[in-house]
Structure 1
Amino acid sequence: MGLRSFIIPAVDIKDGKAVRLYKGDPNAVTVYGENPVDMAKIWEEKGAKHLHIVDLDGAFEGKPKNYRLVERIVKKISIPVEFGGGLRSFDAVKTIIEIGVEKVVIGSLAYQNRREFEKIVETFPNKVILGIDAKDGKVAIKGWLEKTEYTPLEFAKQFDDMDIWGFLYTDVNRDGAMIGPNIEGTKYLAENLKHPVIASGGVGSIEDLKKLYSLKDFGVYGVVVGKALYEGKIKLEELEE
């Protein structure tokens, strides 16, 4: 797998548009496209092997708000889609999987209602990515607004024996800031867990990308990249497949 396959471009949706937040702040928004469907198509055409979609409205409101848009994206592209944002019930997950999403990213629900989370994993084995959003060394939930008492590894360990696909580790303080990913935190998590880890947050250059890529053997599967792609710091089409 080359660098291009390692990248999972992010399409974050807010108010029907493709945006990026700065450090998870809903008020620090940059709009990168009026139409998220077109944006998804662009990343596929540039050679993306999979796509990461986040419903930011859903993350902050507690239930997905952009089903129709996500459905249009899934129908328009042929690469697999992972989706997160407001998936806090079995029914919400069932609906999103039924419209063709390959994998779902769930964070808050695993913390708030373990029984419901277990039901989802049992019903949809190998389709759940547990989202671990870290803020100041602790796991944050509810759209990064509330911090828990768990460190990322403490939280992840509780679910590592389940039939999940793996983990998505986001350092919220770096997200959208392009100040470099949390290499040590990502490596520590990956080498102490059985399931693969997807990194997220902070990638701003090819050098950042290569540092994460070097952690492949520790269990780091890929990295979600947003702002660096949108602003041309990393050009997907120029990377080796």
Structure 2
Amino acid sequence: MLTRKFEVIPAVDVLDGRAVRLREGRREAVTLEGGDPVELAARFAAEGATRLHLVDLDGAFSGTPSAGLLERLLPVGLPIQVGGGYRTVAAVEGALAAGADRVLVGTAALDPRFLAEAVATAGDGLVVAVDVTSGKVAADGWTVTTDLGPAALARRCADAGVARLLVTSTARDGTLEGPDTELLASILPVGLPLLAAGGIASAADVATLRALGCEAAVVGSALLAGRFTLAEALAETGPR
């Protein structure tokens, strides 16, 4: 039986050109400053990261990816999954052509036509972000709550041929209160590989997500706050 390595993916969230962490995704609630995003990405690479999670917060709030942000981080030399404002197939295609390994789409994935076209264009390079607020899918930079349940969106994605999901509890994001394992467990039965984000506060949380069956943990605030090191998190990885 083939084993699959669990990944710990450090997050680099960028707002106004600086690496930051927001509480619950609110633009006005910057909780941590990470300085220059390129320097932060290089630090993660030096500490053993195998992939970066780049979030263009300006793009998420405006609906259009920030020009040149992805290109700034590519010289770090790690595969990058980038999200924030990718709401057209052309934008997804452009990011992949520029060198992104994966592109995250959220709001646009609610449109079945876009979803089908994006899957056809990006294949395994497409990741759908399932952002959840009060049990429902959030959109438009988490500023709008839809009537769609996360498991229903996950099933729609599976039917459309989406390769993997990024699931985030917006109420946990940036809080260091622990991941929402109940939310994750409700989506895992859909059968798509799942990247878990939001609330991760310790290496033990990383171990919990691995045991739950997630493909990866996306970690942001805990690393910036020094709750644990990337090396400690990576110690929780390996074949399963």
Determine if the TM-score, normalized by the shorter chain, exceeds 0.5. Answer: yes
- 2:167 paired with 1:165: no
Letter of the 2:153 counterpart: F
2:199 to 190, 199, 202: 202
- 2:83 paired with 1:89: no
Identity of aligned residues (%): 36
1:145 to 137, 143, 146: 143
- 2:215 paired with 1:221: yes
- 2:101 paired with 1:107: no
TM superposition shift of 1:129: 0.6
Counterpart CA distance in 2 for 1:133 and 1:165 is: 17
TM superposition shift of 1:162: 2.6
Letter of the 2:68 counterpart: R
Q: Mark the runs of 5 or more structure 1 residues left unpaired by the alignment.
A: none
**TM-score, normalised with respect to structure 2:** 0.92
2:120 to 119, 122, 125: 122
Count of aligned residue pairs for this structure pair: 233
After the TM superposition, list the runs of 4 or more consecutive aligned residues in structure 1 that deviate by more than 6 angstroms.
Answer: none
Letter of the 1:73 counterpart: L
Structure 2 contact 81–103 (Cα < 8 Å) conserved: yes
Counterpart CA distance in 2 for 1:121 and 1:130 is: 10
Letter of the 1:200 counterpart: A
Structure 2 SS opposite 1:179: coil
Q: Deviations over 1:115-136 (max 9, x none)?
A: 1221121012111111100001
Structure 2 contact 89–121 (Cα < 8 Å) conserved: no
Letter of the 2:99 counterpart: G
Letter of the 2:98 counterpart: I
Structure 1 contact 170–200 (Cα < 8 Å) conserved: yes
Q: CA RMSD in A?
A: 1.6
TM superposition shift of 1:142: 0.3
Counterpart CA distance in 2 for 1:78 and 1:166 is: 23
Structure 1 contact 17–31 (Cα < 8 Å) conserved: no
Counterpart CA distance in 2 for 1:28 and 1:48 is: 27
Counterpart CA distance in 2 for 1:127 and 1:2 is: 18
Q: Mark the runs of 5 or more structure 2 residues left unpaired by the alignment.
A: none
TM superposition shift of 1:195: 1.4
Counterpart CA distance in 1 for 2:108 and 2:11 is: 22
TM superposition shift of 1:2: 10
CA 1:128–1:188 in 2, change beyond 3 Å: closer, same or farther?
same
Letter of the 1:97 counterpart: L
TM superposition shift of 1:31: 4.7
- 2:209 paired with 1:212: yes
TM superposition shift of 1:33: 3.0
